[in-house]
Structure 1
Amino acid sequence: MEPESWMFPITVMLGSLNHAEVQACSISSVPDELRNQNDKAFKPKVVSIGPIHCGSTRQLQLMEETKWHYMREFLDRNRNQGEGRVSRIEACGHQILQIDNAVRASYGGNTELEPKELAKLMIVDGCFVLEFLFKLASYMIELSDPSRSTGYSGDPIFEDKKKVLAVMNDITMLENQIPLVVLKSLYRKVFPHPDGTLIHNDHRVVQLVREAFGYPQKEGGGGAHILNLMHLSTVEHDQYQRKAAKKELTRCATRLRAVGIVIQAKKPNSKIELEDRFNFDIKFNHNKLEIPTLQIKETTEVKWRNLIAWEQSKISIRCKFTSYALFFRGLICCKHDIELLEEKKVIVNESGKSKEDLLKLFLTISKGAEHMDSSYGEICSELNMYRERKVATALQWLPIVIWHLCRHAFQIIVYYGINWYKILIRDHISTVWKLVGVLAATVLLILTIMQTIYSARSSN
C-alpha cells in the first residue's frame, strides 16, 4: 500500500460491505459515553489482540513471548511427520495476505500497518487465540470433573487461574478482537477440512469458541469475532423493536416487595466457576416476579460492558444486554436493594466485590447507551402499575417505603460526606501546618459567632 494512496481505505471498505465472512467496522473503539463509566473494562490488562492495543503497556509487551510459544504449539498440532513447521507458517502467511482487505475492513480501514506487518500480527495473535481456546476447552472439562487433575504445570497462563480469567476477560473486549475469518483461515491450514467445504460453511472455529466458553452448540456459525459469537450464542435474533434507551422500571426491589410482589430466583444451570452466562428469561405472573439468578463473577462486568458496547456499535442487532442492564438499573436504587436481591438469590456475588462496588456496577452499566429493545417493556409496565387488592395494603407498604427512603437518603448523605471529607483532606489539609491553620480558623470563627451572640444579648 503506497502512502499517497489515500483512496485505498475507501475502496477497501466498499469492497468488503457484502463480503460473506466480514462485517465492516466490526472492531472499533468504544465511545467515550460508555468508556467513561469504567475505562478499565475496555483496555486489556494481560494480552493484546489485534492492532488497537498492540504493545500499549509494558504488561502487554511481556505477554508477546507467550504468544509465540502458543503459536508454535498450535502450528505443531495435526502435523504429519514429513511436514515442516516453516512450510505451514508460509501457507498461513500466504492465506492471510489474500484476505488483507477483509481484515482492514474489519478495523474500519484505519489500520496503518503494511500488509506484511498486519499479516504477521494476525498470524501470531490468531494462532495464540486458537491455542488458548483449545486449552480452555480442555480446562473447562477438567473443572467440571474434580477427579481429573490439571496437566498445565509450567504453562504461563493455565497454571494460574487468575491469569486464565484475565486472558478470558481480555479476549472478550470489543477493541481487542481479531476477525473470525482470520481464525477460520489459520484453523483450516492446520486442520484441513476433509470434505473441502468452503470457508463460510466451515463452523469448526465457532464450535470451538462455544465449547471453550461453555455455550451450547447451535447450528450455523456466522459472526464477526469472538464477542459477536458470544452475543449470537445468548440472544435470539427474532423480531424486535429498537428504541431510545431509558429506565422503564420505576419501582426498585424494595418498593415492589412493599406493594405485594414476591421476588423469586430461578437458579442457574451452570456450576462451573469459569462459565459466565446470562439468562434473560424474566417473568411476571400474578404477583410473582421470577428472575434468573445473576452470578457476578470476575469476568461478568467486563463481558457485560463490552457486549453492551457491541450492541451500541451496530444498528442491525438486538440490544438485549442493554435492556437487561436497564431492567436491573430500575430494580436497584441503593445497596439495600442489593441486600434484598442477594437474600432472594437473584444476585449471587462470586467476584468478591463490595456492596458499594456492586451498586456502582448496576448504576453505571447502562450509562451512555443510546438504544435498547422492547424485551421488558410490557413486564415493566405491569410492575409499575401493580397494586395488591387488599384494604390494608397502604398500611403494609407505607412503613416499608418510608424506611427505605430514609435509609436511601442516609446513604446519599454518607456518600457525599465521605467525598467532601476526602476533598477537604486532599486539597486543604494536605500538610500538618494546613491542618493547624484550618483548626485555628475554625476556632476563630466559633469565637466570633459567640462574641456576636453575647454582644447582641448584652445590648438587649
Structure 2
Amino acid sequence: MAGAETSASGDSFNKLPSDCCIFTVPEKLRKSNNEAYRPRVVAIGPYHHDDPRLKPMEDHKLWYLKNFLQPNPNRHLKDYIRKVMSCEHEARKCYDKHIDLSPNEFTEMMLLDGIFVIQLFMMFSNYQSLLPGDRIFGKQMMLNDVHRDMALLENQMPFFIVQQLFEMASGTHQQPMPGLLELTCRFFRLEWAMESEVKHFVQVKHFVHAISLSFLPLVRKAPNGSNKEMKFTPSAMQLAAAGVKLEKCKSKRLLDIEFKNGALNIPSLALYDTTESFYRNIMAFEQCYCEKRYLTDYMDFMHHLVDTPSDAELLINKEIIENWLSNKEAVARVINALGEENIVSRDHYFYSLSEELNNHCSNHWNEWKATFKRDYCSSPWVVISVIAAVVLLLLTVTQTVCSVLSLK
C-alpha cells in the first residue's frame, strides 16, 4: 500500500504528509458526476462539516452522544474529550487539506462523529438496541442515505479515533461485544471478506479504505512484464460471436474472473441506484492513495465488456449482472460511466486475461465454429434437419456415381 506521495492526481500531493489518507476528490474524476461524492444527509469529518443541508443530523449526533454516555457511569464526557484531544495533531495529518477549526472545535467534531458512527454500527448490528424514535432506523430511505454517505471518500474520519473511542466504551460493558472491524463489515455488508482479509484490516485507515481492502484478490498475480499497451477487452457480444461461453461463477469476489476451456467465468455484479456513487468513491481513493488499483482495473475491464445495451442484456440474461436499475440502457450507462476518466496503469490486473480473450477472438476458426453452432445446432430439430440434409446429399451423390458407373 503506497502513501499519498504516489498519488496520480498532481504534483501537489508530493507535499502531503505520509500519514495523509483522506482526500478531496480530484476535479478530473468528479466533473462527470459531482453529486456522487457529496453527502446527502450526514457529514463525517471536516470537509462537509459546514454544509447547511446536513445540519439537521448534527442534533441527532448530540442525541446519540447523550444516550451513549448514559449506560457508562465509569466513563464521563471529559474522558472521551481528553482522549480525542490527545490525538488531534495526528488526526489532522490524515487530511489532504488544512482544517480551519480550532483545537476545541476539531475535537468536538471528531468526538460527535466518532460516537455517532459507533452508535450507528451497534444499532445496525443489533436491532434490539435501537433507540425509541430514532430518525435513521425509522425510515429505510434515511438509513440508505446514511449508508451511502458513510462510504464517501470526502466523508471520512481516521479509523484509529473511532477505534480508541470504541475501546473506551466497550471496556465498560458487561457482555462481550463484537469488535469494531466486525461491526464495520456488517454495516457495509462485507462479512464474506472479513475472515480471509482480517490480516489486511489491521492497517485500515478509514471506512472507504476498509471497503477497498475487501476487493483484494486472495491470490495476487505477478506483475505484467510486457511493455506492450493493453488491448481493449472484446465486448460481451463479440466474445459470444467468437464462441466464448459467458458464465456466472460462484465466487463473491469481483476480481475472480477466469477464462478456461472456452468459458469466461465472471462473478455476479449487483447494480443499484447507489452503485455508481459507491464504486466511484472507492476508485477515487485508489487513484489518490493506492499503488495497485484493483477495483479501477475491474471497472475498466467491465467498461469494455459492456460496450452497448445489447452487451448488458446478454450479461443480465446470463445472471452475471444483477440488475436493480430501470433497464439495460441504464446498466450500460452506469458501467461505462464507472470506466471513464480513470487512470489505468500498464500493470493492469486483467492484462493477461485481455490478451487471451483477444487471441481467442482473432482466431477465425473459433468464430466459424460459433457461427456453425448458432445457425445449425441451435435446437434438436435444426440438428435433425441438418443431418437429414447431409444424408440426402450423400444419397444423391451416391446415386449419381452409381448412374455414371452403370453407363460404362
Does TM, scored on the shorter chain, surpass 0.5? yes
> Counterpart of 1:47?
42
Residue 61 of structure 1 pairs with residue 73 of structure 2: no
Query: How far does residue 16 in structure 1 lie from its aligned partner after superposition?
Result: 6.7
Q: Decide whether the 8 Å contact of 1:134 with 1:212 is kept in 2.
A: no
> Counterpart of 2:354?
380
> Counterpart of 1:250?
233
Secondary structure of 1:360's counterpart equals helix
Q: Per-residue CA shift, 1:211-246, capped at 9, x if unaligned?
A: 3223233434221101111112331485664899x8
> Counterpart of 1:224?
205
Aligned to 2:189, which of 187, 207, 214?
214
Q: Decide whether the 8 Å contact of 1:258 with 1:397 is kept in 2.
A: no
Equivalent position amino acid for 2:113 in 1 = D
The alpha-carbon distance between structure 1 residues 16 and 390, as it changes in their structure 2 partners (threshold 3 A), is closer
> Counterpart of 1:324?
298
The alpha-carbon distance between structure 1 residues 68 and 362, as it changes in their structure 2 partners (threshold 3 A), is same
Alignment of 1:345-424 (within 5 A): 345-350=319-324, 352-372=325-345, 373-386=347-360, 387=363, 389=365, 392-393=368-369
> Counterpart of 2:154?
175
Residue 282 of structure 1 pairs with residue 270 of structure 2: no
Query: How far does residue 14 in structure 1 lie from its aligned partner after superposition?
Result: 9.8
The alpha-carbon distance between structure 1 residues 163 and 151, as it changes in their structure 2 partners (threshold 3 A), is same
Q: Decide whether the 8 Å contact of 2:243 with 2:370 is kept in 1.
A: no
Q: Decide whether the 8 Å contact of 2:242 with 2:367 is kept in 1.
A: no
Q: Decide whether the 8 Å contact of 1:165 with 1:298 is kept in 2.
A: no
> Counterpart of 2:317?
343
Inter-partner Cα distance in structure 1 for 2:221 and 2:238? 32
> Counterpart of 1:453?
none
Aligned to 1:74, which of 51, 68, 75?
68
Secondary structure of 1:291's counterpart equals strand
Equivalent position amino acid for 1:365 in 2 = L
Query: How far does residue 248 in structure 1 lie from its aligned partner after superposition?
Result: 4.1
The alpha-carbon distance between structure 1 residues 48 and 390, as it changes in their structure 2 partners (threshold 3 A), is closer
> Counterpart of 1:102?
90
Query: How far does residue 62 in structure 1 lie from its aligned partner after superposition?
Result: 1.4
Inter-partner Cα distance in structure 1 for 2:370 and 2:16? 65
Q: Which runs of 5+ in 2 are unaligned?
A: 1-13, 376-408
Q: Decide whether the 8 Å contact of 1:248 with 1:330 is kept in 2.
A: no
Q: Per-residue CA shift, 1:163-206, capped at 9, x if unaligned?
A: 11111110110000010111012112212399xxxxxxxx9322
Q: Decide whether the 8 Å contact of 1:248 with 1:381 is kept in 2.
A: yes
Q: Decide whether the 8 Å contact of 2:23 with 2:95 is kept in 1.
A: yes
Inter-partner Cα distance in structure 1 for 2:129 and 2:140? 11
Query: How far does residue 57 in structure 1 lie from its aligned partner after superposition?
Result: 3.5
Query: How far does residue 298 in structure 1 lie from its aligned partner after superposition?
Result: 3.6
Q: Which runs of 5+ in 1 are unaligned?
A: 1-12, 18-23, 140-148, 195-202, 270-277, 400-460
Aligned to 1:205, which of 164, 177, 180?
180
Aligned to 1:265, which of 248, 270, 275?
248
Equivalent position amino acid for 1:167 in 2 = V
The alpha-carbon distance between structure 1 residues 390 and 240, as it changes in their structure 2 partners (threshold 3 A), is closer
Q: Per-residue CA shift, 1:283-306, capped at 9, x if unaligned?
A: 101210111110113432222111
Aligned to 2:123, which of 131, 135, 141?
135
Equivalent position amino acid for 1:304 in 2 = Y
The alpha-carbon distance between structure 1 residues 14 and 339, as it changes in their structure 2 partners (threshold 3 A), is closer
Q: Per-residue CA shift, 1:85-116, capped at 9, x if unaligned?
A: xx621111111111111111011351111111
Secondary structure of 2:60's counterpart equals helix
Q: Per-residue CA shift, 1:360-399, capped at 9, x if unaligned?
A: 2111213222244432111111111103736944855999
Aligned-pair RMSD on alpha carbons?
3.1
Inter-partner Cα distance in structure 2 for 1:193 and 1:154? 25
Inter-partner Cα distance in structure 1 for 2:39 and 2:30? 13
Q: Decide whether the 8 Å contact of 1:332 with 1:362 is kept in 2.
A: yes
> Counterpart of 2:143?
164
Alignment of 1:79-90 (within 5 A): 79-80=72-73, 83=74, 88-90=76-78
Q: Which deviates further from its counterpart, 24-33 or 228-237?
A: 228-237
Inter-partner Cα distance in structure 2 for 1:293 and 1:97? 45
Inter-partner Cα distance in structure 1 for 2:222 and 2:278? 23
Q: Decide whether the 8 Å contact of 1:258 with 1:396 is kept in 2.
A: no
Q: Per-residue CA shift, 1:15-43, capped at 9, x if unaligned?
A: 974xxxxxx22111101111122111100
> Counterpart of 2:104?
116
Q: Decide whether the 8 Å contact of 1:34 with 1:369 is kept in 2.
A: yes
